[in-house]
Amino acid sequence: MRLVEAIRSALSAIMANALRSLLTMLGIVIGVAAVIAMVAIGSGARNLVDSQIRSLGANLAIVTPGNVTQGGARLGAGAASSLTDEDAQAIRREVDGVVAAAPFVQGGAQVVAGGSNWGTRIYGVDLDWFSAREWDVADGRTFDPEEVRRGDIVIILGQTVARNLFGEADPLDQVVRVRNVPFRVIGVMAPKGQSAFGQDQDDVIFVPLDAGRRRVIGRNYAKDGSVGSIFVKFANEEDIEPGIESMTQLLRQRHRITGEQEDDFSIRNLTEIANTASASANTLSMLLAAVAAVSLLVGGIGIMNIMLVSVTERTREIGLRLAVGARPRDIRSQFLIEATTLSTIGGALGIGLGAGAAYLVAQLAGWPSLVSTNAILMAVGFSALVGIFFGFYPAQRAAKLDPIEALRRE
């Protein structure tokens, strides 16, 4: 038989028992739809986690205060600031691969503009902060070096703060009060979105580091140039691990920590955290797809069952074909093509159903989904393989029928 004739014959056999064929395909349709939907939802979740974590900035490490001991009492991590401006400068100057070292202090504050007010987070930062976080200004400008050096009372607003204080009005050159200190607005940050920890990253304001220490966040920081933490950005991901080792040695030397003494700082690799979270989301996606793939096996068993019934029903037809010269491999090919056609049509219907289900979940639950071409090709290919695998035994059984015995069957 030619392939086209075999496919036409398979379609005729399927249409002759349309309802039975549809019920047979149902397992494949549900299986493929489940795989497509689960992979789409898993991929969307992985991309969301990835983008949220990487919104902090690429190739980042963060240095935070560690445990501090005073009078024999261990106060715990972050109980007192052990980091200074000079530490950040030393890291920027002496550690290979570092492109930015951004010291900062942070706190909470109520911001007042005219008759509006808004509670938000305030950061005192230097110029390296914006490059480390890869965060641009949408309107206006960032601080200039002299403003940072003098600790001028100028301020940059996040999108959420600007919207709640000024609505649709232009906030540039307006005056806002933070703890009764008047700050002039010089810029509005570009939107950053939600962080991996569920925080609105746009609900924030920025002031020069020294202004934040002296005027807003607290005088304790201003006594010795202390800072709350330091963001360190590296040129390449490969520079991070050796860079962390170099920073550890440098800070131990600067803080006069010797021998077995405990570090009074902590360094975390944010890129490693991002990779771990992405790998976890990927594992979850594959697990969901594997669970959904069980439905494909159930559908395959249904195809085998209906093809065995078809062989029994069409025994005389098979005997007649063999009697007039059809070879066993022609009979085998015919039934294999029927099984594969059933599963492929089911796979195509399943793709549409799965993509629709993924879109519906994304719209109703606000959960991201991403239907990829690879997932579609994998689902179609797997459904065709299911048809071949589970259709082979019925096809082989049909091919081995004795034509004389087959023609005697009622």
| CA dist., res. 230 & res. 224, Å (int) | 16
Cα–Cα distance between 355 and 319 in angstroms, integer?
Answer: 44
Quick: pLDDT tens for 196-230. Answer: 566 788 999 999 998 888 888 865 554 567 888 89
HSE on the CB side for 351, CA within 13 Å?
18
Structure tokens at 117: 């007010």
Is 264:74 a contact under the CB 8 Å cutoff? Answer: no
Contacts of 270 (CB under 8 A, 6+ apart): 53, 56, 57, 60, 61, 62
The rounded distance, in Å, linking the Cα atoms of 118 and 123 is 15
Query: What is the distance between the alpha carbons of residues 103 and 227, in angstroms, rounded to a whole number?
Result: 6
* Phi and psi at residue 140, to the nearest 5°: 85, -140
Identify the burial level of 73 via C-beta atoms within 10 angstroms of its C-beta, where 0-12 means exposed, 13-18 middle and 19 or more buried: exposed
pLDDT-based confidence at 364, cuts 50/70/90?
confident
DSSP string, 207-245: EEHHHIIIIII-HHHHTTTEESEEEEEESSGGGHHHHHH
If we measure between CA atoms, which residue out of 279, 289, 302 comes closest to residue 378?
A: 289
User: Is the distance from CB of 347 to CB of 384 less than 8 angstroms?
Assistant: yes
As a whole number, mean pLDDT of residues 19-41 equals 82
Please give the torsion angle defined by the CA atoms of residues 315, 317, 319 and 323, in that order, rounded to the nearest 10 degrees: 180
Taking a C-beta distance cutoff of 8 angstroms, is the pair 113, 295 a contact? Answer: no
**pLDDT at residue 283 in the model:** 76
For residues 393-407, one letter each, b for 16 or more C-beta atoms within 10 angstroms of the residue's C-beta and e for the rest, the string is ebbebbbebebeebb
| Residues 234 and 99: beta-carbon distance below 8 Å | yes
Q: Which amino acid is present at 361?
A: V
Q: Are 298 and 28 in contact (CB under 8 A)?
A: no
What are the structure tokens assigned to 396, written together? 């082989």
89-147 pLDDT, tens digit per residue, is 999 999 998 999 999 998 888 999 988 899 999 999 999 888 888 888 999 999 999 99
Structure-token pair, residue 181:
């200190």
Can you give the pTM of this predicted structure? Answer: 0.63
Q: Which of 174-178, 247-251, 402-406 has the lowest mean pLDDT?
A: 402-406
Domain ranges (residues) in the chain = 3-53+279-408, 67-263
Examine the pLDDT at 46 and tell me if it is beyond 60.
Answer: yes
Average of per-residue pLDDT across 306-335: 79
Mean pLDDT value across residues 256-280: 77
Q: How far apart are the C-alpha atoms of 337 and 2, rounded to whole Å?
A: 12
